[in-house]
Amino acid sequence: MGDKPKEERRTYYCSFCGKSQHDVLNLIASPRAFICNECTDLCAEVCDEARAEKAAKSIIAKTLKVKRSIKRVLSARFWGGGDG
Ligand SMILES: [Zn+2]
């Protein structure tokens, strides 16, 4: 009865932000590190941003390419074409 059960109550901390498992909703464990749900959210946001930036760049590149080829076609009509 007075005896405390001998259980190891270890508190785990997020390896990124240092919050303890009690301060966050989820703490995901890997063999070497922990990450909390807040940090995974942040990571997802950063990855999304990077992905969005990449997508935007490729859209811009494509648009420029299309513009250039339209220009070429138009100028070919205006200046080159000529078999009347
Ligand atoms: Zn964290």
Instruction: Give domain status of residue 11, yes or no.
Output: no
Instruction: Give domain status of residue 67, yes or no.
Output: yes
Average pLDDT over residues 76-82: 69
Distance 53 CA to ligand 1 centre (A): 25
- 7 has a pLDDT exceeding 80: no
Q: In this structure, what are the phi and psi dihedrals at residue 76, rounded to the nearest 5 degrees?
A: -65, -40
Instruction: Give domain status of residue 5, yes or no.
Output: no
Q: In this structure, what are the phi and psi dihedrals at residue 24, rounded to the nearest 5 degrees?
A: -125, 170
* pLDDT per residue as tens digits for the range 35-49: 999 999 999 999 999
Distance 6 CA to ligand 1 centre (A): 29
Instruction: Give domain status of residue 64, yes or no.
Output: yes
Give the chain's mean pLDDT.
88
Instruction: Give domain status of residue 51, yes or no.
Output: yes
Structural domain including 32 reads: 27-80
pLDDT of residue 20: 96
Number of structural domains, the chain?
Answer: 1
CA 74, chain centre distance (Å) = 40
Write down the pTM of the prediction. Answer: 0.60
Distance 16 CA to ligand 1 centre (A): 5
Instruction: Give domain status of residue 2, yes or no.
Output: no
